[in-house]
Structure 1
């Protein structure tokens, strides 16, 4: 399969590329790195990415920015960062890719643990994660040409602990290998409309 991985240079993206790259042709994409540059929040940029890559069998997104901060300091703008980038950015990948992904292909998005196991200052991420879950459940029943869509919701990755562990007190890290296999389940399997929890 030919698979686009958006956000391939991040911790989750690297786990995905390690798992799927052993068996498939990976095209890396990102806002500031990768073989193809793309700003997910800009629909025109997403369309340009697909024009450059041509037909693909699957799209995996492991990207998306959100704001972290105390709830009392949140504004509409800080909430919109996650909604425009992490949510609509990944939705754009699906909507713009409906005609580019081959029949029976798939989209795999990324949410995260915080909508089911919250942390202080993570309300923006929790909101975005919940929205992505709702999107794949709703979109799955309307996907054309046998296309599938799922979202992987991983906990804190083991390799991310040195940078982010202090934000996640008491959270049990998950192995990068286990996270990579969750994406393989979505891409290589047959499920659709699922939130694939990795914990």
Structure 2
């Protein structure tokens, strides 16, 4: 399979690339340092990137930024940033990307543990994650040509605990390699409209 992996050089993305590259051709995409430049917050950038890559068998998003602040201190700009990146960036990746998928291809988006286990400062992430999961379930019943769509909902990553640990006290971190297996299940399996939590 030829797989477009957005966010391939992030913590999750590196794990996903290591897992899937054993069996498939990975086209790495991201805002910086990737083979293909793609900014999730810019639908035209998504379209240009896909046009340059050509037909693919799967699109995987392991990217999406959010604002991080106490609830009543999150600014309108931070809310808008979170929606434009983590939420609508991935929605647009799916909507634009479906036209570049071969029949029977798949889309895998990323939500996260804060959808059902919120922490302080994470309200914008919780909002985006919940909306992504709802979108995946709804899109699965309407995508044409046998296309599939799922989401992976990782817990806090072991590799990120040095940075994020103070926000996730009491959470059991999960290694990126284990999270990557859920992406493999989405890409290489047969299900659609599913959310795969990895906790």
TM-score above 0.5: yes
Task: Tell me which residue corresponds to 1:195.
Answer: 195
SS of the residue corresponding to residue 117 of structure 1 reads: coil
Counterpart in 1 of 2:24?
Answer: 24
What aligned pairs does 1:172-187 form with structure 2 within 5 A after superposition? Answer: 172-187=172-187
What is the match of residue 149 of structure 1? Answer: 149
SS at match of 2:99: coil
TM-score normalised by length of structure 1: 0.98
| Aligned-residue offset at 1:165 | 1.3
**Residue matched to 1:56:** 56
Question: Does 2:77 correspond to 1:77?
Answer: yes
Give secondary structure in 2 for the equivalent of 1:99.
helix
- The SS at the match of 2:106 is strand
Counterpart of 1:118 in structure 2 is 118
Partner of 1:37: 37
Structure-1 residue corresponding to 2:8: 8
Instruction: Give 1:40 deviation, angstroms.
Output: 1.2
Other structure's SS at 1:165 match = helix
Q: Which runs of 4+ in 1 moved over 6 A?
A: none
1: CA distance between counterparts of 2:42 and 2:160?
28
Tell me, which stretches of 5 or more residues in structure 2 are unaligned? none
Q: Which residue of 2 aligns with 1:102?
A: 102
Distance in 2 between residues matched to 1:197 and 1:106, nearest whole Å = 18
Q: Which runs of 5+ in 1 are unaligned?
A: none
Instruction: Give the deviation of 1:30 after TM superposition.
Output: 0.2
Q: Secondary structure at the match of 1:52?
A: helix
Structure 1 position 194, deviation (Å): 0.9
Which residue of structure 2 lines up, in the alignment, with residue 134 of structure 1? 134
Tell me the equivalent position of 2:161.
161
SS at match of 2:12: helix
Q: Secondary structure at the match of 1:98?
A: helix
Partner SS for 1:191: coil
Distance of 1:137 and 1:114 partners within structure 2: 18
Q: How many angstroms apart in 2 are the aligned matches of 1:33 and 1:129?
A: 26
Distance in structure 1 (CA, Å) of the matches to 2:179 and 2:81: 25
Aligned-CA RMSD value? 0.8
Distance (whole Å) between structure 1 residues aligned to residue 141 and residue 26 of structure 2: 27
